[in-house]
Amino acid sequence: MEIYFLGTNAGVPTLQRNVTSIVLRLLEERRSFWMFDCGEGTQHQVLRSPLRLGKLEKLFITHLHGDHLFGLPGLLSSRGYQGGTAPLTVYGPPGLKAFLDVSLSVSQSRMPYKLEIVEHTGGLVFEDETFKVEAGLLEHRIDSYGYRVTEKDSPGSLNTELLQSYGLKPGPIYGKLKKGEDVTTESGVVIRASEVVREPKKGRIVTILGDTRPCPGSLPLAQGADLIIHEATFAHDLAEMAYQYHHSTAVQAAELAREAEGRELLLTHFSSRYVSQEELTPLLEEAQAVFPQTLLAEEFCTFPVYRRK
């Protein structure tokens, strides 16, 4: 499980950074990746990355501002040309379907794959045996959502070497032990499941928030997350401007991470006024003073999501 940034700029693209798109790579977990937001030019950024659109399984839109949305019709069309035939689901706020219906129908775009569009107003938006995605409303000029991705705990594996030392071969007994049942062998030896099943692996939680002012809706999404991705459009000297524009400062993002007792914070969605990585350093330092485990997002860089020990 890794985070990969395709765009980290706010509002408009610059020569240094593109507009928002964040990738959650789930190669080990699902042999696919998920994308959060798709600003204009995202498909071009994908070409410069190791990602292949055929592996894109789900796309989540936080809100319908252009810098998070305008790359979508082009990327969806190109996915077909690049051999993408597996179904794709796009999740986002109401209005997403109308936007895609118009863009794709007037351009007569035909996709060689099943495209499903799911509009939501928060709550549980996806769940299967291994993952769950919940959304919650934030506070922005238009409805903007945050997503909380929860990887479910995976049951502990069997210690097969130990079982084989007892003379037990794979079969129904292995199944019983895996379910936690103790078994007795033909020679009368009792084997306790607790002895031969390893510790379950704790799932990870990643929270990706859309554009927002500090608001009560952020906390339940970020609570206890292993990684929180939060916008930091401005440094704290522009807190007043951040409030007026319905955005956050780096310090405000860090305050949320601290309150939510998150493990790590990644800042993104930087104003174009901060051109170089050097000019972003004050944002990082301000945030780290509040929440030390903070890093700045950087395009084409990979940020692993570590398991808790």
Considering only residues 197 to 216 of the shown chain, the ones binding Zn ion according to CB under 5 A are 211
Which CB, 88 or 283, lies closer to Zn ion?
Answer: 283
Residue 50 carries which DSSP code? S
Which CB, 141 or 307, lies closer to Zn ion?
Answer: 141
We find the least distance from the C-beta atom of residue 110 to Zn ion, in angstroms, to be: 30
We find the least distance from the C-beta atom of residue 143 to Zn ion, in angstroms, to be: 10
CB within 8 Å of 161: residues ≥ 6 apart = none
Closest to 37 (Cα-Cα) out of 50, 21, 53: 21
Which CB, 134 or 211, lies closer to Zn ion?
Answer: 211
Q: Is 67 a catalytic residue?
A: yes
We find the least distance from the C-beta atom of residue 197 to Zn ion, in angstroms, to be: 47
Q: Strand, coil or helix: what is 75?
A: helix
The span of 50-58, 61-69, 106-114, 294-302 binding Zn ion (CB under 5 A) equals 61-69
Question: Is residue 65 part of the contact set for Zn ion (CB under 5 A)?
Answer: yes
Q: Which residue in the list 37, 67, 211, 226 is annotated as catalytic?
A: 67
Closest to 160 (Cα-Cα) out of 178, 187, 182: 178
We find the least distance from the C-beta atom of residue 161 to Zn ion, in angstroms, to be: 53
CB within 8 Å of 82: residues ≥ 6 apart = 52, 53, 54
Cα–Cα distance measured from residue 200 to residue 253, given in angstroms and rounded to the nearest whole number = 32
Cα–Cα distance measured from residue 153 to residue 204, given in angstroms and rounded to the nearest whole number = 8
> Which of 37, 40, 67, 286 is the binder for Zn ion (CB under 5 A)?
67
Question: Is residue 247 part of the contact set for Zn ion (CB under 5 A)?
Answer: no
Please name every residue paired with 25 in a beta bridge, in sequence order, or none if there are none: 2, 33
Which CB, 211 or 226, lies closer to Zn ion?
Answer: 211
Considering only residues 266 to 305 of the shown chain, the ones binding Zn ion according to CB under 5 A are none
Q: E strand or H helix at 34, and its extent?
A: strand 32-36
Catalytically active residues are 67
Please give the residue ranges that form the binding site for Zn ion (CB under 5 A): 65, 67, 211
